[in-house]
Amino acid sequence: MKITLKEIASLVGGEIEGDAGTIITGASGIKEAVEGDLTFLANPKYAPLLQTTRAAAVVVAKGLKIGSACPMVRVDNPSFAFSKLIEIFGPKKPEFPKEVSKRAQVAPTVKLGKGVSVGPFTVIEDGAVIGARTIVRSGVYIGHGTVVGADCHIFPNVTIRERCAIGNRVSIHSGSVIGSDGFGYVAVKGVHEKIPQIGTVVIEDDVEIGSNVTIDRARFDKTIIRKGTKIDNLVQIAHNCDIGENSIIVAQVGISGSTSIGKNVILAGQVGVVGHVTIGDNTIIGAKGGVSKNVPPNSYYIGIPAMEGKAFKKVHAALLRLPGLIAKVRGLDGKAAGRGKGGAGDAEAADN
């Protein structure tokens, strides 16, 4: 496909610097770009790569002062604009037949909306409802009474257990399990007896769930993932958690039961959260942070246990100085010991 830089700019509402007639035939990263490719620059620290890139043009932020030998399209958000443009040059998305595969097992009481696609070896149990235009890929299991909304994409080998509710435009990637039993036991005479988990999971609209994510059902009520939240791969969300709107949960995060997370919260990679705590709106927990108590809104916390960012920096700076301080203390101890011995010798000489 060939398209001019002028056409590119019109698609993303950008401003051109350089030859508007430049022909674009593909799109790639700034390092990998070849002749004819469009690339982008979102992080200024990569600006030096513009001097060596082979790209025909680059999408950059308005107001960013950089020098480039190739034409530029200036936009408000280069990364977002480029993600839209990549659809023009990238591989076409696979199309799925709007029908139920003959090799799928769909119970007679299941209700399927218009244009639903159900792949082979999928099992959909009694009482389930699948909304219009939803794609259910091969090897998926959808349990009794579960409702999946419209325009969802359930990737291969996803398990959605009984009585769960999935909203509209939800994507769930391969290997994820929604509605597994919450981890609840009580010790009776030295034996761990299982506590029944009779609640459910509710996932609201426009949520995306990565691969190998587990979201446990509630003990009584519901575990809820609110609208617009994005969850990375390998995340564990325990029973009765409430994850707020438009939050970001990065890979390998573990959230214990009955935890409440506010709106627009970011939990970076490998964050761990104990149970029964609240994390306020617009808060960021840095990578590997261990949250052991409530966190106020509009905060940045990091560390184990997690503490306010400025306090963490002071503590970390002090820790880095410890080796030098220890060496100083040892030196002072040595001098003190030496003076002690000298003082005793002087006293003996005086007695003589």
Q: What tens digit of pLDDT does each residue of 181-235 get? A: 999 999 999 999 999 999 999 999 999 999 999 999 999 999 999 999 999 999 9
136 plus 197 within the same structural domain: yes
CATH number at residue 171: 2.160.10.10
Residue 99 counted as domain residue:
no
**In this structure, how many other beta carbons lie within 10 angstroms of the beta carbon of residue 75?**
22
Decide if 18 contacts 72 (C-beta within 8 A). Answer: yes
304 plus 341 within the same structural domain: no
Q: Which DSSP string do the residues of 230-279 spell out, in sequence order?
A: EE-SS-EE-TT-EEPTT-EE-TT-EE-TT-EE-TT-EE-TT-EE-SS-EE
Question: For 249-264, b where at least 16 C-beta lie within 10 A, e where not — what string?
Answer: bbbbbbbbbbbbbbbb
Q: Which of 153, 173, 192, 239 is catalytic?
A: 239
Residue 301 counted as domain residue:
yes
230 plus 329 within the same structural domain: no
Residue 314 counted as domain residue:
no
204 plus 63 within the same structural domain: no
Residue 95 counted as domain residue:
no
Residue 335 counted as domain residue:
yes
Query: Which of these, 283, 288, 282, lies nearest to 268 by C-alpha position?
Result: 288
Residue 25: both structure tokens together? 């035939």
- Residue 349's pLDDT is what? 46
Domain ranges, residue 122: 105-308
Last residue of a domain, one of 57, 89, 121: 89
Is residue 239 flagged as an active site residue? yes
296 plus 327 within the same structural domain: no
230 plus 152 within the same structural domain: yes
Query: Which of these, 232, 239, 283, lies nearest to 261 by C-alpha position?
Result: 283
- Residue 51's pLDDT is what? 87
11 plus 152 within the same structural domain: no
Residue 45 counted as domain residue:
yes
Task: List the beta bridge partners of residue 118.
Answer: 100, 136
- Residue 352's pLDDT is what? 47
The CA angle 212-217-221, to the nearest 5 degrees, is 155
Residue 325 counted as domain residue:
yes
164 plus 241 within the same structural domain: yes
The CA angle 212-128-142, to the nearest 5 degrees, is 20
Task: List the beta bridge partners of residue 60.
Answer: 74
49 plus 162 within the same structural domain: no
Which residues in the chain show pLDDT less than 70? 340-352
Count of the separate structural domains present in the chain: 3
CATH number at residue 36: 3.40.1390.10
Last residue of a domain, one of 43, 61, 89: 89
176 plus 43 within the same structural domain: no
Q: pTM (2 decimals)?
A: 0.88
Q: Which single residue is written with the structure tokens 């220890």?
A: 326
272 plus 124 within the same structural domain: yes
166 plus 246 within the same structural domain: yes
Residue 313 counted as domain residue:
no
For residue 29, which amino acid is it?
G
